[in-house]
């Protein structure tokens, strides 16, 4: 009976249309078609919204590879990427491990750590711009307690501003990863810890031999999300990097945006070729990760 049922076709052609067509139409129109058009645009010389686009084959890409701003933007993306993998994730994991023991106000702490995630990033950007205000900002004011007359333009020195922006991005996301890790940790059965303690394992050994292997899947998810996230990061870098010279304030997404939409720019073709490279980069980096995960 069961065998028979599983082979039975439980839908008609019409059903497929009713159930799938609305989603597919919207997805095709607003996600797939634009991606396709981006690919097409990237082969065109098209320097203002008003002018006619002219086919130029790979010229845009050739220019892009010689464009110092593009390379610095790419470097900045990788700075964000490694920063989030080497700073945000370990810190979040540490917090989650601390919270894994019986803790006062555990629920409250979890909620509090997660708070920055629900605030619009444009509000976060404004908040941190004031924190980094050279004179009256929070950070300068705090340092003035120890060193009177201290003032520092955190966000307008080309060399280090991206680092300070990265700190505020971390403020946004560490709580998010902490919550993910907490969920991963809570799925480890209590008996495992107890058995290990009975066998005389130290906390450090428990952490290395039990906890870390058990939350490897969660680590993978967090890492993948961080990688995708830092490749397509836009908001805070765009909002906080305003006053800097071009090459020190861009990541790929902001560069694409500025090429196309900043005043006096409108370089749709060139911007599209940068967008295409961003997309391909995301695929190249993420697909092997996903494939490996499916194998395990």
Partner 1 sequence: MNTKKLSAAFVIRHLLLAVFLLLTLYPLFWLSLCAFRSEGDALQRPLGLPAQWTLANLREVLHSGNFAQAYLNSLLVCVVAVLICITCATMAAYAFARFNFRGKNWLYMLFLLGLMIPVHVTLIPLNQLLGADMLRLKGGLAALIGPYAGFGLPVSILILRRAFEALPAELLDAAALDGCSNLQVFWHVGLPLAKPALNTVLIFNFLTMWNEYAFALTLLGPGRQTVPLAISEFKGEFDLRITVVCAALLLVMIPLICVYACAQKQIIRGLTAGAIK
In the list 50, 145, 198, 291, the residue contacting partner 1 (rule: CB under 8 A) is 145
> Per-residue string for binding with partner 1, 263-282, x by CB under 8 A?
-----x--xx--xx-xx--x
Residue from the set 47, 133, 188, 201 that interacts with partner 1 by CB under 8 A: 133
Tell me if 128 contacts partner 1 by CB under 8 A: yes
- Selection from 50, 71, 62, 40 nearest residue 276 by Cα: 40
CB of 47 to partner 1, least distance (A): 13
Q: Pick from 22, 90, 158, 245: which binds partner 1 (CB under 8 A)?
A: 22
- Residue 55 phi/psi, 5° resolution? -65, 130
Query: If binding means CB under 8 A, how many residues of this protein chain bind partner 1?
Result: 98
When the beta carbons of 51 and 111 are compared against partner 1, the nearer one is 111
| Residue among 159 and 293 whose Cβ is closer to partner 1 | 293
String of b and e for 199-210 (b: at least 16 CB within 10 Å)?
eebeeeebeeeb
The answer to whether residues 56 and 269 touch, using CB atoms and an 8 Å cutoff, is yes
How far apart are CB 102 and partner 1 at their closest, in Å? 9
Looking at 57, 71, 86, 136, which residue binds partner 1 (CB under 8 A)?
A: 136
Q: Which residue lies nearer to partner 1 by CB, 147 or 159?
A: 147
d(CA 114, CA 130): 21
Decide: helix, strand or coil at residue 54: strand
27-86 positions binding partner 1, by CB under 8 A = 27, 29-38, 41
Which backbone phi and psi does 102 adopt, to 5 degrees?
A: -60, 125
Phi, psi (rounded to 5 degrees) for 203: -55, -40
Chosen residue from 70, 222, 241, 250 binding partner 1 by CB under 8 A:
222
Helix ranges (H only) for the chain are 2-7, 13-27, 33-41, 59-65, 68-83, 89-100, 106-114, 121-131, 138-146, 161-186, 190-198, 203-206, 212-214, 216-231, 235-240, 246-249, 252-261, 268-295
44: part of which helix (H) or strand (E)?
Answer: strand 44-45
Q: Is 151 in the site for partner 1 (CB under 8 A)?
A: no
Residue closer to partner 1 by CB (options 159, 266) is 266
Mask for 174-213, x = binds partner 1 (CB under 8 A) = -xx--xx--x------------------------------
225 binds partner 1, rule: CB under 8 A: yes
């Amino acid at each position: 009976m069961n065998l028979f049922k599983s082979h039975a076709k439980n839908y008609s052609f019409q059903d497929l249309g009713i159930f799938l067509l609305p989603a597919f139409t919207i997805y095709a129109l607003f996600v797939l078609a634009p991606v396709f058009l981006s690919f097409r645009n990237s082969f065109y010389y098209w320097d203002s919204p008003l002018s006619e686009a002219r086919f130029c084959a790979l010229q845009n890409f050739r220019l892009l590879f010689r464009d110092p701003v593009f390379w610095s933007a790419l470097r900045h993306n990788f700075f964000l990427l490694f920063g989030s993998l080497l700073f945000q994730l370990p810190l979040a994991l540490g917090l989650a491990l601390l919270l894994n023991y019986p803790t006062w106000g555990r629920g409250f702490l979890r909620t509090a750590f997660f708070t920055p995630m629900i605030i619009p990033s444009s509000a976060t950007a404004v908040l941190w711009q004031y924190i980094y205000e050279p004179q009256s900002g929070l950070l300068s004011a705090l340092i003035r307690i120890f060193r009177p007359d201290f003032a520092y333009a955190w966000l307008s020195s080309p060399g280090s501003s991206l680092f300070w922006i990265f700190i505020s991005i971390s403020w946004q996301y560490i709580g998010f990863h902490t919550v993910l890790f907490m969920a991963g940790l809570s799925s480890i059965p209590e008996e495992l810890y107890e058995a290990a303690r009975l066998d005389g394992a130290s906390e450090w050994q428990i952490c290395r031999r039990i906890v870390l292997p058990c939350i490897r899947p969660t680590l993978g998810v967090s890492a993948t999300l961080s990688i995708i996230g830092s490749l397509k990061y836009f908001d805070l870098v765009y909002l906080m990097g305003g006053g800097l010279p071009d090459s020190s304030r861009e990541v790929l997404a902001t560069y694409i945006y500025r090429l196309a939409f900043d005043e006096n720019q409108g370089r749709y073709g060139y911007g599209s070729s940068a967008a295409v490279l961003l997309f391909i980069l995301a695929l190249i980096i993420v697909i092997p990760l996903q494939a490996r995960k499916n194998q395990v």
